[in-house]
Structure 1
């Protein structure tokens, strides 16, 4: 059975170009220039031309009609000396009797007559260049979104990594095991917020890989920015975040205005703002504490909800010796030492807590 000839379906190509422009913002002119270059390469292959100069050959692309044509342009002469660029008057008048010496004749080269190999060259070149452009656009687009939040839908689990569809299916991103919240379920079809950590282009011309996180402290920071207008406006600053993802976090905030209480503004009326943050964190608790340039005051605030009775600071070792009422010692330390551990991480100081009668 003879092999089916490889043909070029330009109507299909133009439809694909329209879709690429809509989905990935790949400009049509770029694809047309790629197609033109690929066709000229195939033309040289068919004609056995090694010369890089093809000034007498042009590609005509008409997306509206869905047509692509190649023309050779030759000058009408009395005696042909350069067959590539010239045509005799006799041959020119076989095409159109009105041609005269000095005219330029456009001779269409039927693309349908391209060999199977040449047709494949065109297809592979165009597809390859489009993929390359698509990779570049995806990489640039998502590189600009690093350190921001994206919304995604859980697709599947692959070797302990969670595969997430983001931006309406344009890209599949990876939530690595080490960026997953312990105990959090990732059921296919679940809509979640993620922190975009990085974008990398793997070898062998594959699609860029977008890496996500559910454990990064900046996930909380970006969620709070979305919910608290005063943060967006620069009135309130998030000075530090200490996080044990899935369990508890502490966030230190500061107000640049004496009229605005940073803690109250972040919590919101009836707790609405902080609740809007927490709903994306699967039960994680957040303590909002007031930041202070006075490290002693900051450490006291960081140990909330426990009440600090006295504090001594070792400035050389960055170590704080804290006294709390015996009745609040377990509260200050926290379950498994979590409250003290988070306070130390938030302030950057070692904290030694003792009870006082």
Structure 2
């Protein structure tokens, strides 16, 4: 067993990159527990693994004292001096107490420790591989589905796609190939856990980078994204170079670029709007396709405003179930109150007619 163990440790270091000394230290600690468990000893023991000869020995460690109270943990100075006249009170003496059949226990323990270290090393390798892809898009294959998750095979690990990370209404079937966004990688006790999403706003950002070279190289920058997955999204873009139309660049010839993204997201509607340093202009752009007549900012709240639109554009500006206004507010970071032109005029008239207190 001794020679085989040394060879196994050498192979482990060579093939798996697991340092021999790390395994030896873990093995020695495990053998101490195994000795106490199998021989019912509460004494202070150490296990020494001779890496050259491959021999494993157990030693009882006793402290030199003037008066012995516990013979398993202590040895008198008088007895210690009989062993070596150089011993003093406080010294530690090791006595070899290796049981005859300890080799069998050592072999079993060594096997368990090595297997555990191999599992840990493999987990670490997988974790190191996938932590590099955190915040990135990968393509995986749907493996199975249960009431909690869609399990997506990414190669060396099975990622989980929760209900909240799925696109509402999207159906998944085994062997489907889907693009997912890795938003979190955890190194848990059970091994690396990879969490992926189809509804995350950054999935949209990464898709734009994949489909639009100018976004990837920074010529066009995505400033903000507001998304209701599976239904509609608004993306604010700006150009970092003069003469480049950021919206047109993202839409592409005949809408081909943005259509590729829409297809990947199973028909999710996409509004690409131009970011503007002037908040009023940015808010007007964000409410596209509605026409905006005026943006009045609240003097008491710098992040709130009232937007005035033509009477026939009110429902368009608000959108179905308030979606257009909601996404515009999320995109710009402003609380937006939308009023029709006539409604705003009535409010202004009533305000002017209110008597002032003397």
Fold agreement, TM-score > 0.5: yes
Distance between the aligned counterparts of 1:177 and 1:188, measured in 2? Answer: 16
**CA distance in 1: counterparts of 2:137 and 2:127, whole angstroms:** 16
CA deviations on 1:279-309 (whole Å, 9 max, x unpaired) are 2211111100000010000001001111112
From 133, 157, 175, the counterpart of 2:145:
157
Unaligned runs of 5+ in 2: 36-44, 56-100, 343-358
Residue 356 (structure 2) aligns with: none
Deviation at 1:310, TM superposition (A): 2.0
1:239-275: CA deviation from partner (whole Å, max 9, x where unpaired): 0000101100000001011211100111111212112
Q: Does 1:260 align with 2:244?
A: yes
Distance change >3 Å, CA 183–CA 54, structure 1 → 2: same
Q: Which residue is 2:180 aligned to? A: 194
Distance 2:109 2:169 in 1: 51
2:286 is aligned with 1:297 = no
Match 2:295 to one of 301, 311, 326: 311
Equivalence for 1:339:
324
1:146 equivalent in alignment to 2:142: no
Alpha-carbon shift at residue 346 of structure 1 (Å)? 0.5
1:122 paired to 2:120: no
SS at match of 1:279: helix
Cα distance, 1:31–1:301 mapped onto 2, change above 3 Å: same
- Which residue of structure 2 aligns with residue 28 of structure 1? 15
Moved over 6 A (4+): 8-11, 38-46
Cα distance in 2 for partners of 1:128, 1:233 equals: 45
How far apart are the structure 1 equivalents of 2:338 and 2:31?
Answer: 82
How far apart, CA to CA, are the structure 1 residues paired with 2:140 and 2:6? 35
- Decide whether aligned partners of structure 1 residues 31 and 328 sit closer, same or farther in structure 2, where only a CA change above 3 A counts: same
Residue among 202, 206, 218 paired with 1:234: 218
Equivalent residue runs for 1:262-281 within 5 Å: 262-281=246-265
Partner of 1:136: 124
Once the 2 structures are TM-superposed, how far is the Cα of residue 137 of structure 1 from its aligned partner? Answer: 2.1
Cα 1:315–1:221 change in 2 (3 A) is: farther
Match of 1:177 among 155, 158, 163: 163
Q: CA deviation at 1:320?
A: 2.1
For 1:332 and 1:39, locate their aligned partners in 2 and report how far apart those are by CA, in whole Å. Answer: 66
Q: CA 1:320 to 1:138, structure 2 compared with 1: closer, same or farther past 3 Å? A: same
Q: Report the count of equivalent residues.
A: 284
The answer on 1:52 being equivalent to 2:48 is yes
Offset at residue 34 of structure 1 (A) = 7.2
Q: How much does 1:9 deviate?
A: 11
Q: Distance in 2 between matches of 1:186 and 1:40?
A: 46
Q: Where does residue 330 of structure 1 map in the other structure?
A: 315
TM-score by length of 2: 0.70
| C-alpha distance after superposition, 1:188-235 (max 9, x if no partner) | 111111111112233xx3112111111110010011011111112111
What do you get for the CA RMSD once the two structures are aligned? 3.5
Match of 1:221 in 2: 205
- After TM superposition, the structure 1 = structure 2 runs for residues 1-40 of structure 1, keeping only pairs within 5 Å, are 28=15, 30-31=17-18, 33=20, 37=24
Question: 2:241 and 2:19 mapped to 1: Cα distance?
Answer: 56
Question: CA offsets per residue over residues 90-118 of structure 1, 9 Å max, x none?
Answer: xxxxxxxxxxxxxxxxxxxxxxx995544
Residues 116 and 186 of structure 1, relative CA distance in 2, 3 Å threshold: farther
Partner Cα separation in structure 2 for residue 308 and residue 121 of structure 1:
75
Structure 1: which 5+ residue stretches go unaligned? 1-7, 18-25, 60-69, 71-112
